[in-house]
Amino acid sequence: MSLGQATREVLACEWNLLRAHRKLALAFLGVLFVPAVYAWIYLFAMWDPASHTRDLPAGLVNLDTGAEYRDRSLNLGSQVITSIERQGQFAYRVYEDAQQARQDVRRGHLAFMLEVPPDFSQRALPGEQPGAAKLTIYTSEGNNYASAGFARRFAPEVAQKVNTMLAEARWDLVLSTAAGSQRDLESLRAALADLHKGASDMQAGLGRLRDGSRQTAHAGDLALESAQRLRAGAQQVAEGTQQLGTGTRQMAASLRALEARMPAESELGALRQGTQALAQGQQELLGGLDALGGGARRLEAGLMQLRTAADETPLFGGWVVESVTPIAAGARELGAGLGRAREAQAMLLQGTQRLQDGVNTLADGTTRAAGAVASLQARLPDDGRLDRLTEGARDLASGHEALLAGLRQLGAGAQALQSGLGNLTDGAGRLDTGMELLRRTLPTDVDRPEGSAQGLALSVEPVVEVVAPVPNQGSALIPNFVPLALWVGAVMVAFLVHLRRIPETLASHPRLALAVGKLGLPVAVVLLQALVMLVLLATVLHVPMPQPGMFALTLATTSVAFLAIVWALVRLLGDLGKVVAVLLLIVQVSAAGALLPIELSDEAFQVMHPYLPLTWVVQAFRASLFGAYDGAFWPAYAVVALTAAAGFTLGSLLGRWRPVPTPQWRPPLDIE
């Protein structure tokens, strides 16, 4: 008999058993839907629990008495309760009595309660230390652990909300303070500008004052030199004044003596008359000389006539001529001498006239001099005044000594002033530089945060970039729970088929024909289970399937692989293999990383993780359904397919067959 014919006989035997027992057929039909119904019940119950939290009762108690914070009255407890109620995450009930709310939690009437203590605002507003203000979340894990889990997650959400409200209030205060600081800064900058201008003007003025101080010092030096010369002059004045006093006294005595010796007016009149008489005598002498000159000329002329007549007279004529000639010459000389005498007399007359004029002038001057001497004598200071003048000159000399000492001190002070002004000018320069540096360093405006208080309080918003997104929690459970349902379906199929027994009439058939024929019906059932599961997910739960072909292939291969594992266990261990299959399911749930990351499990489970078929089934489902693991579908699928091949091969080659008599060939379950 050929392998194909033998296989068909084994398959026909199994089919006839199914036809003979209608309840067995109904059991097979029910098993087709068990994985799908199992998955539907669980997934539908867990599809989106977060959307039903609005029906979960929670209590709210506000005992906060409020607080005054920087001229503001705030009641954070009231704001927290109002904000939580507005959000409506749970079915909130507001209580006035905290003990009543706690009692309702203990009785199971509330999932949890939130209590705001009386000093909440007083402790929260100052922010003196982390966690100064407390919010009490009261829950009972024993009543419902999941509800307590919601309470634990609700606590940090409330804390974040309160901290956000506080941050908004504080930022609002910062913004209002910054606005006032901006005005103060503008006033400060204006004042600094005025101060900078004043410092610049001060520096310029100090520079000019320093220049003036230099000039003053120079003038002081000149004044000192002048004072020294003035002191010498004052000493000379003192000495001269003393001499002047002595001379004035001597002059006064001389004037008195001169006045005493002055000629009287009568004597001056006699002098005038004498000079006048002298002038008249001289005039008369001049007239006499003129007459003598005329007589001398007439004498000469007569002698010349006499000579001429004597020259003509004989005898005595020669003697007469000789005698007359010297007389004529003498007469001639007499005339010449009289001429010269007349000229001298004329000059003497002129001198006499001038003398007369001089005498008149002298007399007048003497008269006036006498009057002047008398007046001068009257105006000369007396000895007391001269003594005071001398003493004043001495005081002047002493004052110049003091002036000289003062000018020396003034010079030293001017030098000190100049040095101080230099230091003050340098300081003013540094002040001006510092003011300018401060003006430049001072910001043009307050670094006022931009935006609103809410924006500053919530300036950071995390952006979660999700790769391989999952629509909801139910969809996320599909890769974890659908394989479990398919495993249960494969185990249930193993309870409906004799995986080790065959009729005695077929015991001689080849092992491969027996295995293929025996697996024909179970494989068809698990494939139909996978199909029903696919229809349920697609039409009832409306699960998005980006790659439906890969997902369907994963469902079919997983069902066959699980059946192959159960086949191998039962073939090797008998009915005990079914128990091992159930235990293996439990181990895989913990070690395959289906519900929690494997890193959160015990080290023993982490060691088993890579060698469990459910590990790769979950990965293949996630890759085909969500595009997880960067779309690495085929490596995981290959492991699942190899697991199926290995299970069928191992069960077919190593398992033992138990032939039973044909009358005892019955369904494995008592379904009659």
Asked if residue 557 has pLDDT above 90, the reply is yes
* pLDDT reported for residue 233: 67
* pLDDT reported for residue 638: 94
Taking each helix axis as running N to C, give the angle between helix 634-654 and helix 548-573, from 0 to 180 degrees, rounded to the nearest 10. 30
Structure tokens given for 101: 């709310």
With respect to residue 669, please indicate whether it lies within any of the assigned structural domains. no
Residue 559 near residue 566, CB atoms below 8 Å: no
With respect to residue 465, please indicate whether it lies within any of the assigned structural domains. no
With respect to residue 622, please indicate whether it lies within any of the assigned structural domains. yes
- Mean pLDDT lowest for which of 57-66, 233-242, 307-316, 415-424? 307-316
Q: Which residues pair with 58 in a beta bridge?
A: 92, 112
**Distance between CA atoms of 583 and 589, rounded to whole angstroms?**
10
Asked if residue 68 and residue 37 are part of one domain, the reply reads: no
Where is the domain boundary, 136, 153, 176? 176
Q: Provide the sign of the torsion angle of the four alpha carbons 326, 327, 328, 334, taken in this order.
A: positive
**Distance between CA atoms of 334 and 293, rounded to whole angstroms?**
8
Residue by residue, DSSP assigns 257-325 as: HHHHHSPPHHHHHHHHHHHHHHHHHHHHHHHHHHHHHHHHHHHHHHHHHHHHHHHHSSSHHHHHHHHHH
Q: Decide which of 551 and 469 is more confident.
A: 551
Query: Over the stretch 327-344, which tens digit does the pLDDT of each residue have?
Result: 777 777 777 777 777 777
Q: What is the mean pLDDT of residues 379-390?
A: 71
Segment of 203-212, 245-254, 511-520 carrying the highest mean pLDDT = 511-520
Q: Decide which of 48 and 350 is more confident.
A: 350
Asked if residue 80 has pLDDT above 50, the reply is yes
Residue 14 near residue 518, CB atoms below 8 Å: yes
Where is the domain boundary, 337, 358, 383? 383
Asked if residue 614 and residue 499 are part of one domain, the reply reads: yes
Asked if residue 603 and residue 547 are part of one domain, the reply reads: yes
Query: Over the stretch 458-497, which tens digit does the pLDDT of each residue have?
Result: 444 444 455 577 777 677 778 887 888 888 888 888 877 7
Asked if residue 368 and residue 502 are part of one domain, the reply reads: no
A 10 A CB-CB count for 603 gives 7
Asked if residue 130 has pLDDT above 60, the reply is yes
131 phi, psi to nearest 5 deg: 70, 25
Asked if residue 436 has pLDDT above 70, the reply is no
Dihedral over alpha carbons 654, 526, 502, 578 (to 10 degrees): 60
* pLDDT reported for residue 639: 93
- What is the CB-side half-sphere exposure of residue 437 using CA atoms within 13 A? 6
**Distance between CA atoms of 578 and 531, rounded to whole angstroms?**
24
* Token pair 């009257």 in the structure block, residue: 378
**Distance between CA atoms of 628 and 220, rounded to whole angstroms?**
101
pTM (global) more than 0.85:
no
**Distance between CA atoms of 28 and 18, rounded to whole angstroms?**
9
Q: What is the mean pLDDT of residues 600-604?
A: 76
Residue 611 near residue 621, CB atoms below 8 Å: no
Residues 6+ apart with CB under 8 A from 543: 471, 475, 478, 537, 625
**Distance between CA atoms of 432 and 405, rounded to whole angstroms?**
39
* pLDDT reported for residue 555: 92
436 phi, psi to nearest 5 deg: -65, -40
Q: Which residues pair with 525 in a beta bridge?
A: none
Taking each helix axis as running N to C, give the angle between helix 145-261 and helix 316-379, from 0 to 180 degrees, rounded to the nearest 10. 140
Mind spelling out the 3-state secondary structure of 493-533?
Answer: HHHHCCCCEEEHHHCCCCHHHHHHHHHHHHHHHHHHHHHHH
Asked if residue 39 has pLDDT above 60, the reply is no
Residue 14 near residue 497, CB atoms below 8 Å: yes
Query: Beta strand pairing status for 67-68 and 73-74?
Result: antiparallel
Asked if residue 529 and residue 589 are part of one domain, the reply reads: yes
**Domain encompassing residue 270:** 261-383
- pLDDT-derived band at 672, boundaries 50, 70, 90: low
- Mean pLDDT lowest for which of 216-225, 519-528, 578-587, 641-650? 216-225
- pLDDT-derived band at 658, boundaries 50, 70, 90: confident
Q: Which residues pair with 91 in a beta bridge?
A: 57
Q: Provide the sign of the torsion angle of the four alpha carbons 90, 94, 98, 101, taken in this order.
A: negative
* pLDDT reported for residue 581: 83
Helix or strand (DSSP H, E) at 92: strand 91-95
Structure tokens given for 387: 């003594």
* pLDDT reported for residue 66: 83
With respect to residue 642, please indicate whether it lies within any of the assigned structural domains. yes
With respect to residue 181, please indicate whether it lies within any of the assigned structural domains. no
Asked if residue 157 and residue 27 are part of one domain, the reply reads: no
Asked if residue 124 has pLDDT above 70, the reply is yes
Q: How many distinct structural domains can be found in the chain?
A: 3
Asked if residue 105 and residue 11 are part of one domain, the reply reads: no
With respect to residue 316, please indicate whether it lies within any of the assigned structural domains. yes
Asked if residue 165 and residue 269 are part of one domain, the reply reads: no
- pLDDT-derived band at 567, boundaries 50, 70, 90: confident
State percent of the chain over pLDDT 90: 8
Reference 117, options 103, 137, 100; nearest CA is 137
Asked if residue 533 has pLDDT above 80, the reply is yes
* pLDDT reported for residue 43: 47
What does the DSSP 8-state code read for residue 547? S
Asked if residue 38 has pLDDT above 60, the reply is no
- pLDDT-derived band at 634, boundaries 50, 70, 90: very high
Asked if residue 292 and residue 162 are part of one domain, the reply reads: no
With respect to residue 403, please indicate whether it lies within any of the assigned structural domains. no
CA 478 to chain centre: 57
**Distance between CA atoms of 545 and 557, rounded to whole angstroms?**
17
Asked if residue 606 and residue 479 are part of one domain, the reply reads: yes
Asked if residue 322 and residue 373 are part of one domain, the reply reads: yes
Taking each helix axis as running N to C, give the angle between helix 473-496 and helix 548-573, from 0 to 180 degrees, rounded to the nearest 10. 40
**Distance between CA atoms of 183 and 198, rounded to whole angstroms?**
22
* pLDDT reported for residue 561: 92
Asked if residue 556 and residue 515 are part of one domain, the reply reads: yes
Residue 316 near residue 310, CB atoms below 8 Å: yes
Q: Decide which of 330 and 670 is more confident.
A: 330
Reference 643, options 668, 614, 670; nearest CA is 614
Tell me the CA distances in angstroms from 609 to 122, 565, 596, 597, one per residue in order: 53, 17, 12, 11
Q: Decide which of 177 and 503 is more confident.
A: 503
Average pLDDT over all residues of the chain: 74
Query: Over the stretch 279-322, which tens digit does the pLDDT of each residue have?
Result: 777 777 777 777 777 777 777 777 677 667 666 666 556 666 66
Asked if residue 508 has pLDDT above 90, the reply is no
- Mean pLDDT lowest for which of 48-62, 321-335, 617-631? 321-335
Of all residues in the chain, what percent are helix, strand and coil, respectively (each to 5)? 80, 5, 20
* pLDDT reported for residue 463: 40
Asked if residue 388 has pLDDT above 70, the reply is yes
Where is the domain boundary, 107, 142, 176? 176
Query: Beta strand pairing status for 91-95 and 658-660?
Result: unpaired
* pLDDT reported for residue 459: 44
**Distance between CA atoms of 374 and 369, rounded to whole angstroms?**
8
* pLDDT reported for residue 461: 45
Tell me the CA distances in angstroms from 388 to 50, 246, 248, 385, 424, one per residue in order: 125, 13, 14, 5, 50
* pLDDT reported for residue 455: 55
Q: What is the mean pLDDT of residues 511-526?
A: 82
Taking each helix axis as running N to C, give the angle between helix 3-20 and helix 22-45, from 0 to 180 degrees, rounded to the nearest 10. 80
* pLDDT reported for residue 17: 60
Burial 624-644 (b: 16+ CB within 10 A, else e): bbbbbeeeebeebbebbbebb
Asked if residue 562 has pLDDT above 80, the reply is yes
Q: How many helices and strands (H and E) does the chain possess? A: 17, 8
Query: Beta strand pairing status for 501-503 and 658-660?
Result: parallel
Q: Provide the sign of the torsion angle of the four alpha carbons 195, 196, 198, 202, taken in this order.
A: positive
Query: Over the stretch 98-114, which tens digit does the pLDDT of each residue have?
Result: 999 999 988 888 888 88
Q: What is the mean pLDDT of residues 31-40?
A: 58
Structure tokens given for 137: 């979340």
Q: What is the mean pLDDT of residues 131-146?
A: 78
Taking each helix axis as running N to C, give the angle between helix 22-45 and helix 511-535, from 0 to 180 degrees, rounded to the nearest 10. 40
CA angle 28, 29, 32 (to 5 degrees): 90
Helix or strand (DSSP H, E) at 21: none
Exposed / middle / buried, residue 36 (Cβ in 10 Å: 0-12, 13-18, 19+)? buried
Segment of 130-144, 164-178, 240-254 carrying the highest mean pLDDT = 130-144
Residues 6+ apart with CB under 8 A from 301: none
With respect to residue 406, please indicate whether it lies within any of the assigned structural domains. no
